[in-house]
Amino acid sequence: MNNPMSSENRLHALDAVRGFALLLGVAFHASLSFMPGWPPGIWSMVDNSPSQFLSDAGFVSHIFRMSLFFFIAGFFGRLLYHKLGARGFWSNRAKRIVVPMIVGWVILLPTIFFVWNLGMTKMFGGTPPAPPTPPPGWFPLTHLWFLYELLLLYVAVIALRALVVSFDGAQKLRSLVDTLVANSIRMRIAVFTLGIPVAGALMTLPFWFYWQGIPTPDSSLIPQVPATVGFGTAFIFGWLVNRSGTALDAITRGWFVHLVLGIVATGWLLHTMHATPMAQPGLTKTLFALVFGVAVWGWVLGLTGAALRFLSNYSAVRRYIADASYWIYLAHLPVVAALAVWVGHWQLHWSVKYPFILVVSFAVLFLSYHFLVRPTFIGKLLNGRKYPLRKPAQPSVGQEPAAPPTVPSSDSGAPVASLRGIVKRYGKTTALAGIDIEVRRGELLAVLGPNGAGKSTAIALWLGLIEADAGQVTLLGGAPQDLARRRGLGVMMQDVELPKELKVRELVTLATSYYDDPMSVEETLRRAGIEQLANRSYGKLSGGQKRQAQFAVAICGRPRVLFLDEPTVGLDVQAREALWASVRRLLADGCSVVLTTHYLEEAEALANRITVITKGRVIATGTVDDMRALVSRRQISCETRLSPEEIRGWPGVVDAQRVQDRLQITATDAEGVVRQLLAADSALLKLDVRQAGLNEAFNELTKEAA
Amino acid sequence: MNALALKSVVAEASRGNALGAYFTETRFELMRMVRNPGVAIPVLAMPFALYALFALVIAGEAIDKDANLGVFLFFAFSLMAVTMPALFATGVTLALEREMGLLRLKRAQPAPPASWVVAKIVSGLVLAVLAYAPVLILALAAGKLALGAGQVAALSGALLVGTIPFCALGLMIGSLVKGTAASSYALLLYLPGCYLSGMFFPMPRSMDWQASIWPQFHVKEFAMHLAGITPHKEPLAIAIAIMLGYTVLFAGVTIWRLSRKG
């Protein structure tokens, strides 16, 4: 399942990737007039300064940019479908995709013809030859083919989805596919297999000019096989990655390997293509097609992973560019083509003219976006909202942003850490049998339970030390195995000895090096109340001092969540009070704390909420008062000659025991029992009745569950 | 936690300071080694003492007659000097730390996953250099090593590279066994190899079949190739391949084991 918080962070990264793919398209088209050896007519102009470099760069960007776009489009497609439902989805797509496609085509097509005509006239010195008769079925989709292809894929994939839903009622197939998708990325198989379908389609092409990669389906309404297979694979895989909760994590982790694979494969393609630009039937063609597939997916997964890794935060500039990219891509073609015509005969090197085209086009396109699109109904149509021109645009976090698909609203107030439906077994022993626990921001949750109840297992899951057999563990909005996320936690474990040779100050220094924005070592020592121990070796500390040093290590990174496993064992009263004060200060700073303890007074003193676990199940959760009220029993204590056995049989008595010379009675009806006591033993002494403390409440609860 | 705060957490976290963590971890690992000479001293002193005993006292005159014997003895004890620390500084300390629960804590803390491994390997290498240098100095000072400067340099480099499979072996032992038992197991795996690989004294031909089981054998062959000392018992490529193979095998078991057990 997708976690809404973590997805939301990632959506910024994916939006950035899509914006990048679209803007790369502008740079690609701007380079086409410089292609060496292209005859007039393919592009609006043949420049007098051809460039092999731009040819290679264009090839490289063309390998992946559309697949990348369709991959992200598939991801967002499913997100949108599940957010808006079928009807909402189609109405949204009609506005964002169908209308821009039709209106854009009506306006762009004559403009493009006009620019082409200008170019041809210029190239042929006034009298261009008559254009060749188009083949039957020819339809100039122009660069808007990608919207047409996208619509076809929406229809196909949603139909396919309906089919799967109809027979896969138990979700067996779908969960299998989820596992397959995540594991194939994790094991780096996806990068090699996803390209196989498109390679198959490319191999069968009778005329394949290597440079073009997947031939652009821009001149017919009939879907073309290689493009449909190639972009369809990307779209469906994006859709499935959105389905599978863990695939994005795997992509994030694999960014470097994938990128390297993409680059290496691309290097080989360039090398091979330089030898023979046109595919000849044979081994090289097959190999080229297969390596091409690896290159496509190396780049797609690598770039997506790198963006997830490095761009997962909100940036106003990136947001603006991502919003602008859709308009820019729609409008750019006549602009760059006209500029190419304009500069085509200038006696300047391409290294001057190409940047010139880029700078002027982006300037024109961004200005047009800023003044004509962003504040107007066009912006609303394309990106779902318009921004007033006067006020500097500051989209608030989680607002519906731009470009074809949309981002769902944020899910605030979610827990900082949670266990949902967790089952964990060790061999035949079930440590946790389906527990749900939530830790909210700024609260202290005390986890109580007898030894072996499953407390430490729960903590180990949150720390990412073990994996659950079933259920979902989240820490700060995602999987706890993620290192970046773990930088938000601090931990003090049971049964851990720190290196005895190091001094306390050094231990804190070492722990500090793991965090990005830690407290200073002095501040940490002061907060933990152990400045005087700073220069003592850990091995020479007493048991209680060692716990204090471990506490300092736990808090040095300014954690958002702090896990304290039995923190005050062995501390004297003074040290314990100091530690409590320090915990309270962290809570006040907004840190959340998970505390396991045997000292119930500790829970009473610190906890906002208490969860009681026994035998791997949560048997009660609530505030300290809730817990006491849950067990509304009272303790009666007195000196009497009556025997416990006798009293246990009375109505309203839960338990009776002799403790030294006193009789301890736990009763639900204290008044009735006292009356009966006084009646039965007139010599009764030192009667004492009180509300059960947490200790008794806890004992009762665990006893009942046992 | 609201989405905004969460974003800032993730944004901050993604910056990371992994390099600093590696450096600090290594620095403190070395510091621990210096402050706890219990492990270091025997490992440092033994090869030197043994070399001094054999090369100067027992076989001193024989070496003066046959330079090859001097090279052979130097090989035996320098190999011991570099491989023992590699094995013990990594394996035994890892086993002790696992018993202390320290590794579990490191895995829970946001320590970069490989920082402690790097720290141990670097410490192992430093200790190897510290153990090797006195043996080398003694050999050169006493004139018991008839090799050119280039050969000595190549040999020294090769020996240090040869510590890598032993670091991996140490990590493997440390990941399989807990606590003080690790040093016994390490000795059990290490010492027979020193004899049976023909490192300490030439083995009879009938025992050749088993010599190549031991990593020591391949490190020695590797170093002899690089220093241009003949005769070789296997080609350089094979020696490199087997050292690499052992490293991958040991490291693989370590990773498999630690990812399951911690």
- The per-residue pLDDT for A245 is 77
Residue A401 lies inside a defined structural domain of this protein: no
Q: How many residues does chain A have?
A: 706
Could you tell me the pLDDT band of residue A694, with boundaries at 50, 70 and 90? Answer: low
How far apart, in whole angstroms, are the C-alpha atoms of residue A685 and residue A682? 9
| Residues A283, A338 within the same domain | yes
* Per-residue H/E/C for A412-439: CCCCCEEEEEEEEEECCEEEEEEEEEEE
- The per-residue pLDDT for B146 is 85
| Residues A106, A222 within the same domain | yes
Interval A183-189 mean pLDDT: 88
| Residues A597, A452 within the same domain | yes
| Residues A564, A508 within the same domain | yes
Which of A415, A441, A516 has the CB atom closest to B12's CB atom? A516
- The per-residue pLDDT for A297 is 95
The answer to whether B207 contacts chain A (CB < 8 Å) is no
| Residues A305, A372 within the same domain | yes
Which of A413, A465, A557 has the CB atom closest to B104's CB atom? A465
Q: Using an 8 Å Cβ cutoff, are B95 and B177 in contact?
A: yes
CA of B14: which chain A residue's CA is closest?
A: A484
pLDDT in tens, A117-135: 888 888 888 777 777 777 7
Cα→Cα distances A455→A445, A450, A563, A624, A703, Å: 12, 9, 11, 18, 17
Q: For chain B, how long is the longest CA-to-CA vector?
A: 82
Q: Which of A30, A60, A59, A62 is nearest to A47 (CA)?
A: A30
- Write down the residue that tokens 């209308």 correspond to: A99
The answer to whether A476 contacts chain B (CB < 8 Å) is yes
Q: A518 preceded by cis ω (within 30°)?
A: no
Q: Indicate the helix (H) or strand (E) that contains A609.
A: strand A609-614
Could you tell me the pLDDT band of residue B1, with boundaries at 50, 70 and 90? Answer: very low
CA of A497: which chain B residue's CA is closest?
A: B100
Test B9 with A514 for CB contact under 8 angstroms: no
- The per-residue pLDDT for A698 is 67
pLDDT for A368 beyond 60: yes
How far apart, in whole angstroms, are the C-alpha atoms of residue A369 and residue A116? 24
| Residues A616, A692 within the same domain | no
pLDDT in tens, B245-257: 999 899 888 877 8
How far apart, in whole angstroms, are the C-alpha atoms of residue A10 and residue A314? 10
| Residues A31, A77 within the same domain | yes
Could you tell me the pLDDT band of residue A261, with boundaries at 50, 70 and 90? Answer: very high
CATH number of the domain within which A579 lies: 3.40.50.300
pLDDT in tens, B72-100: 889 889 999 999 888 887 888 889 888 88
Q: What is the three-class DSSP state of A139? A: coil
pLDDT for B103 beyond 50: yes
Test A491 with B108 for CB contact under 8 angstroms: yes
Residue A403 lies inside a defined structural domain of this protein: no
Residue A659 lies inside a defined structural domain of this protein: yes
How far apart, in whole angstroms, are the C-alpha atoms of residue B199 and residue B233? 13
Test B102 with A499 for CB contact under 8 angstroms: yes
* Per-residue H/E/C for A182-201: HHHHHCCCHHHHCCHHHHHH
Test A498 with B102 for CB contact under 8 angstroms: yes
Chain A residue numbers with beta carbons less than 8 Å from the beta carbon of B109 are: 486, 491, 511, 514
User: Which segment of A78-82, A564-568, B229-233 scores lowest on mean pLDDT?
Assistant: B229-233
- The per-residue pLDDT for A700 is 65
What domain count does chain A have? 3
What is the distance in angstroms between the Cα of A220 and the nearest Cα belonging to chain B? 45
Residue A396 lies inside a defined structural domain of this protein: no
- The per-residue pLDDT for B11 is 39
The answer to whether B17 contacts chain A (CB < 8 Å) is yes
Provide the number of CB pairs (under 8 Å) joining chain A to chain B. 136
For chain B, how big is the Rg over CA atoms in Å?
21
- The per-residue pLDDT for A73 is 95
pLDDT in tens, A305-341: 999 988 877 778 888 899 999 999 999 999 999 999 9
How far apart, in whole angstroms, are the C-alpha atoms of residue A669 and residue A274? 94
- The per-residue pLDDT for A577 is 87
- The per-residue pLDDT for A128 is 76
User: Which segment of A265-269, A649-653, B7-11 scores lowest on mean pLDDT?
Assistant: B7-11
pLDDT higher for A566 or B10?
A: A566
Chain A residue numbers with beta carbons less than 8 Å from the beta carbon of B3 are: 5, 8, 397-398, 410-412
Q: What is the three-class DSSP state of A117? A: helix
Domains of chain B by residue range: 17-261
Residue A406 lies inside a defined structural domain of this protein: no
pLDDT in tens, A335-362: 999 999 999 988 888 988 999 999 999 9
Q: Using an 8 Å Cβ cutoff, are A637 and A664 in contact?
A: yes
Interval A92-97 mean pLDDT: 90
| Residues A517, A642 within the same domain | no
Could you tell me the pLDDT band of residue A406, with boundaries at 50, 70 and 90? Answer: very low
Q: Using an 8 Å Cβ cutoff, are A66 and A146 in contact?
A: yes
Q: Which residues contact B261 (CB under 8 A, 6 or more apart)?
A: B175
Q: What is the three-class DSSP state of B6? A: helix
How far apart, in whole angstroms, are the C-alpha atoms of residue A545 and residue A549? 6
In order, the DSSP letters of A209-272 are: BGGGSS----S-SSPPHHHHHHHHHHHHHHHHHHHSTTHHHHHHHTHHHHHHHHHHHHHHHHHH
- The per-residue pLDDT for A701 is 66
pLDDT for A552 beyond 60: yes
* Mean pLDDT, chain A, integer: 85
Interval B205-229 mean pLDDT: 88
Sort A433 into a burial class: Cβ within 10 Å, 0-12 / 13-18 / 19+: middle
pLDDT in tens, B24-77: 899 999 888 888 777 678 888 889 998 998 888 888 788 888 888 888 889 889
For the beta sheet containing A444-448, the strands, ordered from the edge strand earlier in sequence to the opposite edge, are: A489-492, A561-565, A592-596, A444-448, A609-614, A617-622
Interval A620-629 mean pLDDT: 77
How far apart, in whole angstroms, are the C-alpha atoms of residue A581 and residue A294? 57
CA of A563: which chain B residue's CA is closest?
A: B108
Q: Residues of A numbered 390-429 whose beta carbons fall under 8 angstroms of chain B's beta carbons: which are they?
A: 397-398, 410-416
Residue A254 lies inside a defined structural domain of this protein: yes
| Residues A378, A460 within the same domain | no
- The per-residue pLDDT for A562 is 94
**Residue where one domain finishes, among candidates A581, A612, A627:** A627
pLDDT in tens, A539-549: 999 888 999 99
| Residues A612, A659 within the same domain | no
- Write down the residue that tokens 């066994």 correspond to: B177
- The per-residue pLDDT for A206 is 85
| Residues A86, A208 within the same domain | yes
pLDDT in tens, A226-253: 999 999 999 999 999 998 878 888 999 8
Q: Which residues contact A271 (CB under 8 A, 6 or more apart)?
A: none
Which of B1, B7, B262 has the CB atom closest to A416's CB atom? B1
Q: Using an 8 Å Cβ cutoff, are B97 and B28 in contact?
A: no
| Residues A23, A169 within the same domain | yes
pLDDT for A532 beyond 90: yes
pLDDT for A702 beyond 80: no
- The per-residue pLDDT for B15 is 41
pLDDT in tens, A586-619: 898 889 999 998 777 788 888 889 898 888 888 8
pLDDT for B260 beyond 80: no
| One-letter identity of residue A204 | T
Give the residue numbers spanning the domain of A457.
Answer: 417-627
pLDDT for B171 beyond 70: yes
- The per-residue pLDDT for A414 is 65
CATH number of the domain within which A701 lies: 3.30.70.980
